Amino acid sequence: MSRVRIHRPHSLGSQEVRRRFDEVASSLHQHYGLSLEWDGLGGAFHGHGVTGEVQVAEDHIAIDMHLGIMLWPFTHKIQESLEQQVDRLLAS
């Protein structure tokens, strides 16, 4: 499996980042069929050939995504796209 890992600091507080990440998750669901289930400040997501976790803390967000073999060729593009979305989420 290929992995995509993103770790970003923030100063927005955990609840605000979780609320904002829900908007990103909605977009990921519409475009890629990914589903996210929260358990407190942690969440698990899955979709066609993708599984992963997101952890939101008071001062950072961490995303760890596992890509199935069919998505390996797109690892760099997926990482780049997700990084841009997370950066926009934290800058708003």
* Domain annotation covers residue 36: yes
Domain assignment of residue 89, yes or no: no
Task: Return the residue matching tokens 């600091």.
Answer: 9
Residue 36 CB-half CA count within 13 A: 23
Q: Is the pLDDT of residue 22 over 90?
A: no
Domain assignment present for residue 80? The answer is no
Average of pLDDT values for 22-35?
84
CATH of the domain at 35: 3.30.310.50
How confident is residue 24, by pLDDT bands cut at 50, 70 and 90?
A: confident
Mean pLDDT across the chain? 92
Residue 17 belongs to a domain: yes
Report, as an integer, the average pLDDT of 27-35: 83
Task: Specify the number of domains making up the chain.
Answer: 1
Domain of 54 in residue numbering reads as: 2-74
State the pTM of this model: 0.89
Residue 82 lies in a domain: no
pLDDT for res 84: 93
- Let me know if residue 67 belongs to a domain: yes
Do the beta carbons of residue 25 and residue 32 sit within 8 Å? no
